Every structure is written in structure tokens, then in C-alpha cells.
Amino acid sequence: MKIRYCDALVIGGGLAGLRVAVQTQEKGLNTVVLSLVPVKRSHSAAAQGGMQSSLANTVMGEGDNEDVHFADTVKGSDWGCDQVVARMFVTTAPKATRQLAEWGVPWTRVRKGPREVVINAQRTTIVEKEEAHGLINARDFGGTKKWRTCYTADATGHTMLYGVANRAIRDQAEIHERKELMRLIVEGSRCYGAVVRDQITGEIEAYVAKATCIATGGWGRIYRTTTNAVICEGTGQAAVLETGLATLGNPEAVQFHPTPIVPSGILLTEGCRGDGGVLRDVDGHRFMPDYEPEKKDLASRDVVSRRMMEHIRKGKGVPSPFGEHLWLDISILGREHIEKNLRDVREIAMTFNGIDPADPGPKGWLPVRPAQHYSMGGIRTKPTGESTAIDGLFACGEAACWDLHGFNRLGGNSVAETVVAGMIVGSYMADYCHRHEIDIDTRLVRESIRREEAYLQEILDRPGHKGMSIFDIKRRMQVIMDEKVGIFRHGETLQEAVDELQQLLKLSREAAVAYKCPRANPELEQAYRVPKMLKIALSVAYGALLRTESRGAHYREDYTQRDDLHWMKRTIVRWSDPEATLPEVGYEPLDIMKMEMPPAFRGYGRKGQIIENPLSAQRAEEVEAIRRRLEAEGKDRFAIQEALMPFELPENYKAKNERLGVGYA
Amino acid sequence: MPKTKIMTTDRGEGRELTLEILKYNPRDPESKPHLATYTIRETPGMTLFVALNMIREDLDPDLAFDFVCRAGICGSCGMMVNGKPLLACRTRTADYPEGKIRLMPMPAFELIKDLSVITGQWMDRMSQRVESWIHSSVEHDISRIERPVDPDAADATFELDRCIECGICVASCATALMRPDFVGAVGLNRIARFESDPHDERTDADYYELVGDDTGIFGCMSLLSCEDHCPKNLPLQEKIAYMRRKLAKVK
């Protein structure tokens, strides 16, 4: 029986997990990272467009700072995010970007002098400053006031992942591949590590640690059509749910990206539109300005995805054997730009669709339709990244509901979150490890291993195939999520989804496997994963059914307004009875009177669709009064911010960020 | 090699495809290496990712293979397709007009089962050996403006940083197959990547210490199958020659 001990255990080897591991390892803690796959293959590698960070080097980013990034993020979230977390994030992001440059991320740099760009479908010349030459460049992205998204062509996630993974290798963090989290070891209300299955030998092992961090990414594969990698099955979050104590926040907050390519669902980066590409309909008409006169093709993702579906419903979609779609036109950016800055996009289009997007006119247009892309919800944590319910359990990145994104994440804020949260949460986790000992009885660890071995044996012993195979059950779940828990949601169909998913959960608990080998066995893996996935799917569908309003990416056709009066609260899901087929749902209030930015209109999306909370106006007045008073006293923006909504950061992360031309102002 | 079980699915209406796939689980005492044959119906735009999942879901639930991104970005799905090492997710069945495809696991790596191999350990050894990280004595304060880098130099480093460690260059390399300790085109490209990075302070003499022998830069026989098969079209030929010229001058 294998029991290994370490100080810090990180589960998940994508950007967030690896960045946590670097932090704890560099603080002298023996750190182990467990990963389903070689870490450099994590889904982080697929992030194309870039990382938001208010460096303000490019002339199009001039005037940008933490305040502007904060406001964009809060509006993007449709006031669903934790504003303290958003502040922590925007203050640390520039430091993360600059640190990554030192670690070898070859950020695309600013070139001084005139440069031709496409803005609002027009070729325009901008002139970059002499003193910005060689500094980190940024491109435009949706829902942002400034060009803020730092990038390496369209392989940003790849270069960041390699930079951080190589750093972790340098630091000699132990990385154990093809290890799958089965169950957390929880005694009392403290987490002591995890029971893990080796995917090659099939052996069940325990990793015992002072603190454990879940960084297992999103749960996109509960949907049939998703941009997510095939390993993004949400089993990490499900293991947390299965503790019966720890909770998920806002599971119903699911992002649908506007431009996955049809039919494969592979993502084409928002950078396509950020760099000037536009959406067109069956007539070749650029329709987004008709709906969103101000932000046009670059409104936030929830808004653009809904407008696209709305336009298709009006009969403006392009028919195809794979259903109706719209066109993404980047040909107007010119071949040189595409071959340099949108190279992976071109490669994907050519490989999977046989289209060269640099070909001028309709020949180069790419078929796109919105699809599942990101889970804003996840393991509910405090701003330190620690679970609100279990000591010694941390979470970060897409797996967590930290909650930076509320009901809609801005493009470029997710890869940024991975490394920023890694720095912050890793630091708090290291503190925790330094303050705590491993004081769990080995017998309890052995029992945890035995329980898991018995569970797998029970699956292998189930007699014959009756009814649906585990693959059939999984496929049915995915179709239900696509059809009934998608972009447009309605009480009736959500109820149907919840009912059907409960039935599937019961069936999944009896599904037999044909190949009885306990070692490398993909069918066995599905047999224990699918029930976990169904718990996540049920949390998403049930959370969506109960939230009778529309906010960000959660859109209810039977409750079309954002209801600040009744719904300024975060959904909290717990699964305390392992035999149950539904989670318990509760809510955590968002306190308007503590917000730096009280709820208001986002500046894009449908107007006049808010049920106002009187506290919003009251807090807005209060904020304005404090701002006026402190400005009259000659206080700077940092002092004003501190007065409105104080926040803390570890290390030196709260230090002011230097910028070109303005210094530390 | 024995051939067994022919299985058929009729899902779809496309042409008939026959896939012969190596099946073997070295950790299962009852498993013997054999070629299993599957016939499926081709769907429009079908890739090996789609085909293999269809086989697993409909015909053979324990068929093992590795995919992660299924978009040619992560490098998980290298396998031998009719004798050539390719990324399966980017391989279209339509490019095989005879409708016959034989899939084998990549050589040079330890087999897990069927088409799934362990590349991670190999790549980890390579990373340790070439010290695949920035060596810098500068402690830059991260709240200050970053150090400027010439835009062309950054682009040049990015070009070599695009390697996805898929192992295809190793699987196609005669030297790597003969000497398991050869660092491979992936390792030599990594050296070239750090050599081009203005943040890295290492000298040619430092790189010579790491790869200046027959298991490194002087082990390459210039057969260049690596460059022929690299799915990211990295300039491996040029970079190996460049590093060899530089390192041959050391000492």
C-alpha cells in the first residue's frame, strides 16, 4: 500500500497548479503536483489570445491602470464577482506578466513608429512611442476599454505553460503524471491530501499533505459541444463536492464562447475580433453594430453569443449539414497579419475545415457558432483561495469560484487568473503549511485507500451489460446539457434536464464494464468518472433552474431581467448525502453597501432590463461623496480606493505598478 | 503478428474505413500483442480523433489512446499512421483514399496500452539535461517596467518556443531509436531556443557542457526525418546545424 508524504499537494498540472507549486516550492516546502497528463499538455496550452494586464505600453493602452481593468472586470461579471478578489487580481496581474517575461515567456513586443491596424473594419495607422520600443505589447479584446491583452502571437497559453512548467522543473517540484484524484482525505473539517489512482498500474495510492490545492480546470465536457480539452471533466470539483462539506459557487454560470469553429467546436481566439475581425451573417452583412452600436463585435462574450443566436433565430444563419452558423471574417486583416499573429487559427481552419482565412472575401470566411467554453463557477473559496468549509483545502484557476468572474468572464482574464491566483493562493497555502503539521492517523489513510479499492472492485464485479453503456449515459448527459442548459434557458426545459439527469445518475451507479482489467482501462475510468460528471451537471442545471433572473451568461427566457433586488447573491451547492440525486442549494449574499462599484448598466447588452435594488443608488451616492471629499483633500487614486473597499495581498503584490510616462501614479 | 476480431459499426452513411490497430496491455498477463481490425463509416471531415472515439464508444470500450486538446496544440496524440509519426487529431481519414489505416504506438517511448505511450518521462529527462529554464543572475523587481527586448529577438525566441513536446521528432529519429540517451531534435531545439533568448545568460561553453557529445549535438546523423514530420514545422535542420557549428568551436 503506497502512502506518500509531502508538505504541499497540488492536484492539476495546468498553469494555476504549476504556479502554486512554484510558489510553495520556492518557500522551502516539499511540493508534489499530480496530473492526469504530462503537465505541458494541460488545457492551459490551448489558451490562444492572451492575458489581460494593465501595462499600458502600447499607445492604444495609454491611460490604462488597475482601476480601468477593475471596472471592466466588474461590468463583465454583470456585478456577480467578488470585487475584493477583482482588486487583488488587477493589482497583481502586471507583476505576473513581468515575472513571466523573466521566466522566458517571449511576449510579443512593441515596435516603435507607425503600424497599420484594423479598427472597426477600417485600416488605421497608429504610432507607437519611441520609449515603448521592446516593451510588452497588448491587443484589443472584448469588453475592455483599453488594449490590455498581452500575447505571444496566438499561442499565449502554450508559452505561459512552458514558462511556468520549466520554472517548476528548475525548482525541482515533484511532478507525478497520470495520477487521478479519486477522493480527498478529510478528517474532522480538515483536508490531509488525497486518494489517487495511478492510470497506468491501476494502483490506489494516498498522498498525505499539510495542505492540498485543487487546480483541475473546468468542467466543459459535461456538454457535448465544447471548446474544452477532453480531460476537462470536472472530476476534481466533484471530488470536492463528495466530501459532503465543501461547496461549489455559482455552478450555473457557464460561458459560451462566440467563435468556436463548426463542426469540431475547436476555439478560434477572441483575438480574431480583437485584432479587427468581424462577424457576418448569411447575406455577408456585418450584423453586430446593429445590436451593439458601441462595442459592436467586441461586447462581452455572453452578449455577443446571445446576439449571434438571436440573429440566427431571425433567419440570418447560414444553413449547413451541421446546423446553422454565422461567419467570422478575418480576411480583412490581411495575409501578413494572419500568418504572424493568428497562425494557430489559420492552421486550425486549414486542417479541420480546409479554409485559408487569409484568402480574401467569402472564400476565407470561417463557420462559427457559440459553444460551451468556460465555467465561472467552481469550488467556493475565500479570497485567500482556501475552501470556505474545509481547512487545508485550497483551490484556484478555473476549478475555483474565487470569484473573479461572476456571471461572465472577460476574454484574457482566465489565463491571467491562473498565474495571478497561483501567486496569491500559493502564498497563502505556504503560510498554512508553515503553521500546520500532518497529524492524521495512518490507519485512517489506509482505510481511505481500501474504501476506494473496494469501490472499483464493485464496479468491475457488476454483472453484464444491461441497458445503457457508460458511454451512452455520458453522451445522453452531454446532449441534455447542450439542449436544455445552454445559452437560452427556460424553467420548463431546465426542470426536464434536472429530472433526466437524476435518472442518468441512478443508471450510472449500476453501469457495468466489459473489460475487467483493473489496470490501464479506459472503460473503467469512464465508469467511475461519469457519476462524478453527473453530479456537476446536476449542480449546473439545478442552480440554473432555481436562479429566476438573467445575469451575465445565465439567461432565462422566462425571467429576462437582471434582478438586483432578489438575486444579489451567489449560489452555493453542497452534496452531503452521497445517495442523493440532487445537491442542497443555498445562497451567499453580495453586500452592495461594501462594493467599490455598486450595480449599474454595463454599457453594452440590452438596456432597461434591470430590476433595481435601492441600495445600488444609495451606495453610488456614498461612493461619490467619499471620492469627492478625498479628491478635495488631494488624495491619490490609491487612497480613494483604500477608503472605498480595503483589500489585502500577500508578499509585495500590493506594491504600486510602474508604467511608462506616469511612473507609479 | 496475430490479427483478431473484426468489428463493424454502421453509424453514418459515408464510405467504409478499415482501421487496423495494435492492441496490447503489457501489464495484463493475459494480453498478447495483436492487430485488431475495425470497420466504421466515415463521417464528413472525420479525423482520427473522431474515428478512434467512435470505435471506443461503439465497438471496443477498452481501446486506449491519448488525446487532450484535439486541436493540434497540446501534442498528446502522436502515433504511427501507416508507418509515419503524425498527430492523430490533425489526421483526416479523407487523406487515405484506399480507406485502410494502420495505427501503431510511437516507438522510443514506453507503452502503456494500445496506442498510449509514456512521453512525459522522456521529456522530463530531456528538460533536466538541457536545463530547460532561463539562467539569469538578474533579480528584476516585478513592480517595475519590464526589461525591453528587441521585438525581432522576441519573435525569434517565440518561433522556437512553439515546440509541443509531442515526441514525433524522437519517434522518427534513427539516432534516438539506436541510443536511448540521445537528446533528440526536441532537446537540441530547446538549446537553440534558450540560446536565442536575451534573458538567458548561458554561453556556448555552458551549452557544450550539456549537449557537446554523441548523445547530444554530435549524435545527429542529419537524416532530418524530425524536420519532415514536425507538426509545428519548426526549423529543426537549420537550428541543429547552427548549434553544431557554434558548439564545434568551443574549447
Please answer whether residues B63 and A522 qualify as being in contact, where contact means their C-beta atoms are separated by less than 8 angstroms.
Answer: yes
CA dihedral A372, A88, A159, A11 (to 10 degrees): -70
pLDDT class of B14 with cuts at 50, 70, 90: confident
Question: How much is the pLDDT for A403?
Answer: 97
CB contact under 8 A, B143 and A652: yes
Question: How much is the pLDDT for B13?
Answer: 74
For chains A and B, CB pairs below 8 A equal: 207
Please answer whether residues A244 and A575 qualify as being in contact, where contact means their C-beta atoms are separated by less than 8 angstroms.
Answer: yes
Angle between the A156-170 and B151-161 helix axes, to the nearest 10 degrees?
80
Cα–Cα nearest to A31, from A2, A3, A4, A10: A10
Partner residue facing B74 (CB), from A45, A55, A522: A45
Q: Lowest-confidence range among A203-207, A454-458, A580-584, B14-18?
A: B14-18
Long-range residue pairs from A59-62, CB within 8 A, at least 24 positions apart, any chain: A59/A126, A59/A127, A59/A128, A59/A129, A59/A132, A60/A126, A60/A138, A60/A140, A60/A146, A60/A147, A61/A138, A61/A146, A61/A147, A61/A148, A62/A146, A62/A661
pLDDT class of A158 with cuts at 50, 70, 90: very high
Interface contact B77, partner A, CB < 8 A? no
pLDDT digits (tens, 9 = 90+) for A230-284: 999 999 999 999 999 999 999 999 999 999 999 999 999 999 999 999 999 999 9
Partner residue facing B61 (CB), from A107, A520, A523: A523
The whole-number average pLDDT for the span A550-568 is: 97
A302, three cell numbers: 455572453
Cα–Cα nearest to A105, from A156, A49, A53: A156
Distances (CA, A) of A641 to A74, A402, A555, A623, A647: 15, 21, 32, 10, 9
Q: What are phi and psi of A150, to 5 degrees?
A: -75, 145
A564, three cell numbers: 438586483
pLDDT class of B2 with cuts at 50, 70, 90: low
Q: What are phi and psi of B201, to 5 degrees?
A: -95, 0
Would you call A185 helix, strand, or coil by DSSP? strand
pLDDT digits (tens, 9 = 90+) for B145-175: 999 999 999 999 999 999 999 999 999 999 9
The whole-number average pLDDT for the span A586-612 is: 95
Could you tell me which chain B residue has the CA closest to the CA of A518? B28
Q: What is the pTM of this model?
A: 0.97
A58, three cell numbers: 502600447
CB contact under 8 A, A520 and B150: no
The strand pairing partners of A393, in sequence order, are A212
Cα–Cα nearest to A196, from A430, A32, A387, A375: A32
Which of chain B's residues have a Cβ under 8 Å away from the Cβ of A178? 112, 118, 120
Nearest-CA distance B172 → chain A (Å)? 21
pLDDT digits (tens, 9 = 90+) for A49-103: 899 999 999 999 999 999 999 999 999 999 999 999 999 999 999 999 999 999 9
A 480-499 → B contacts, CB under 8 A? none
The whole-number average pLDDT for the span B81-103 is: 97
Distances (CA, A) of A125 to A59, A63, A128, A542, A546: 11, 19, 10, 50, 50
**CATH 3.10.20.30 for domain B4-116:** yes
Cα–Cα nearest to A34, from A8, A3, A14, A11: A11
pLDDT of residue B36 exceeding 70, the answer is yes
Please answer whether residues A578 and A431 qualify as being in contact, where contact means their C-beta atoms are separated by less than 8 angstroms.
Answer: no
pLDDT class of A418 with cuts at 50, 70, 90: very high
Which residues does B43 contact at the CB level (< 8 Å), separation at least 6?
B12, B14, B50
Would you call A587 helix, strand, or coil by DSSP? strand
A 325-344 → B contacts, CB under 8 A? 344
Which of chain A's residues have a Cβ under 8 Å away from the Cβ of B164? 40, 45, 158
What DSSP character marks residue A312? I
Sign of CA dihedral A400, A406, A410, A411: positive
Cα–Cα nearest to A316, from A303, A329, A304, A326: A326
pLDDT class of A605 with cuts at 50, 70, 90: confident
A 189-208 → B contacts, CB under 8 A? 199-202
The strand pairing partners of B20, in sequence order, are B37, B102
Could you tell me which chain A residue has the CA closest to the CA of B149? A134
Angle between the A15-26 and A413-435 helix axes, to the nearest 10 degrees?
30
pLDDT of residue B10 exceeding 70, the answer is no
Could you tell me which chain B residue has the CA closest to the CA of A231? B68
Partner residue facing A40 (CB), from B128, B138, B165: B165
Mean residue pLDDT across chain B? 94
pLDDT digits (tens, 9 = 90+) for A289-346: 999 999 999 999 999 999 999 999 999 999 998 899 999 999 999 999 999 999 989 9
Query: What's the N-to-C CA distance of chain A in angstroms?
Result: 58
Partner residue facing B143 (CB), from A107, A513, A655: A655
Which residues does A525 contact at the CB level (< 8 Å), separation at least 6?
A180, A199
The strand pairing partners of A379, in sequence order, are A248, A400
- Alpha-carbon span A331 to A560, nearest angstrom: 36
pLDDT class of A607 with cuts at 50, 70, 90: confident
Nearest-CA distance A393 → chain B (Å)? 27
Q: What are phi and psi of A503, to 5 degrees?
A: -60, -45
A330, three cell numbers: 478575418
Nearest-CA distance B202 → chain A (Å)? 13
Amino acid at the residue A556: R
Which of chain B's residues have a Cβ under 8 Å away from the Cβ of A110? 151
Question: How much is the pLDDT for A247?
Answer: 98
Interface contact A352, partner B, CB < 8 A? yes
Assign domain B130-135+150-248 to a CATH class: mainly alpha
Amino acid at the residue A512: A
B 163-222 → A contacts, CB under 8 A? 164-165, 194, 197, 199-200
Q: What is the ipTM of this complex?
A: 0.96
CB contact under 8 A, A98 and B146: yes
Which residues of A are catalytic, by number? 257, 273
Cα–Cα nearest to A213, from A379, A9, A54, A56: A9
Please answer whether residues A282 and A411 qualify as being in contact, where contact means their C-beta atoms are separated by less than 8 angstroms.
Answer: no
A322, three cell numbers: 451541421
CB contact under 8 A, B164 and A657: no
Which of chain A's residues have a Cβ under 8 Å away from the Cβ of B129? none
Amino acid at the residue B86: L
Could you tell me which chain A residue has the CA closest to the CA of B117? A200
Amino acid at the residue A46: A
**β strands within A19-73, DSSP E:** 31-35, 51-52
- Alpha-carbon span B60 to A400, nearest angstrom: 35
Nearest-CA distance B47 → chain A (Å)? 8
Angle at A167 between CA A162 and CA A172, to 5 degrees: 125
Question: How much is the pLDDT for A417?
Answer: 98
- Residue B25, number of CB atoms within 10 A of its CB: 22
- Alpha-carbon span A641 to B150, nearest angstrom: 36
Question: How much is the pLDDT for B220?
Answer: 95
Interface contact A168, partner B, CB < 8 A? no
Higher-confidence residue of A322 and B68: namely B68
Q: B2, exposed or middle or buried, with CB in 10 Å at 0-12, 13-18, 19+?
A: exposed
Please answer whether residues B15 and B97 qualify as being in contact, where contact means their C-beta atoms are separated by less than 8 angstroms.
Answer: no
CB contact under 8 A, A519 and B25: yes
Please write down the HEC assignment for all residues of chain B.
CCEEEEEECCCCCCCEEEEEEEECCCCCCCCCCEEEEEEEECCCCCEHHHHHHHHHHHCCCCCCCCCCCCCCCCCCCEEEECCEEEEHHHCEHHHCCCCEEEEECCCCCEEEECCEEECHHHHHHHHHHCCCCCCCCCCCCCCCCCCCCCHHHHHHHHHHHCCCCCCHHHHCCHHHHHCCCCCHHHHHHHHHHHHCCCCCCCCHHHHHHHHCCCCCCCCCCCCCHHHHHCCCCCCHHHHHHHHHHHHHCCC
Residues in chain A: 665
Question: How much is the pLDDT for A626?
Answer: 98
Nearest-CA distance B117 → chain A (Å)? 10
Please answer whether residues A545 and A558 qualify as being in contact, where contact means their C-beta atoms are separated by less than 8 angstroms.
Answer: no
Which residues does B42 contact at the CB level (< 8 Å), separation at least 6?
B12, B14, B15, B16, B17, B93, B94, B99
CB contact under 8 A, A201 and B27: yes
A550, three cell numbers: 438573467
- Alpha-carbon span A391 to A141, nearest angstrom: 38
Distances (CA, A) of A334 to A126, A158, A356, A370: 17, 25, 12, 25
**H or E stretch including A210?**
strand A204-214
Partner residue facing A521 (CB), from B57, B62, B73: B62
- Domain-wise residue ranges, chain B: 4-116, 130-135+150-248
Interface contact B249, partner A, CB < 8 A? no
Which of chain A's residues have a Cβ under 8 Å away from the Cβ of B134? 102-104, 166
pLDDT digits (tens, 9 = 90+) for A477-532: 999 999 999 999 999 999 999 999 999 999 999 999 988 889 889 999 999 999 99
Distances (CA, A) of B238 to A489, B144, B166, B197, B249: 55, 37, 20, 17, 17
pLDDT digits (tens, 9 = 90+) for A616-631: 999 999 999 999 999 9
Partner residue facing A166 (CB), from B44, B74, B133: B133
**H or E stretch including A584?**
strand A584-589
pLDDT digits (tens, 9 = 90+) for B102-132: 999 999 999 999 999 999 999 999 999 999 9
A432, three cell numbers: 498554512
**H or E stretch including A523?**
helix A522-546
pLDDT digits (tens, 9 = 90+) for A376-399: 999 999 999 999 999 999 999 999
Which of chain B's residues have a Cβ under 8 Å away from the Cβ of A218? none
- Alpha-carbon span A514 to A462, nearest angstrom: 9
Question: How much is the pLDDT for A451?
Answer: 97
pLDDT digits (tens, 9 = 90+) for A336-377: 999 999 998 999 999 999 999 999 999 999 999 999 999 999
Nearest-CA distance B6 → chain A (Å)? 17
pLDDT digits (tens, 9 = 90+) for B217-241: 999 999 999 999 999 999 999 999 9
Partner residue facing A200 (CB), from B69, B112, B136: B112
Interface contact A434, partner B, CB < 8 A? no
A 642-661 → B contacts, CB under 8 A? 652, 655-660
- Residue B39, number of CB atoms within 10 A of its CB: 16
Cα–Cα nearest to B243, from B152, B210, B127: B210
Interface contact B64, partner A, CB < 8 A? yes
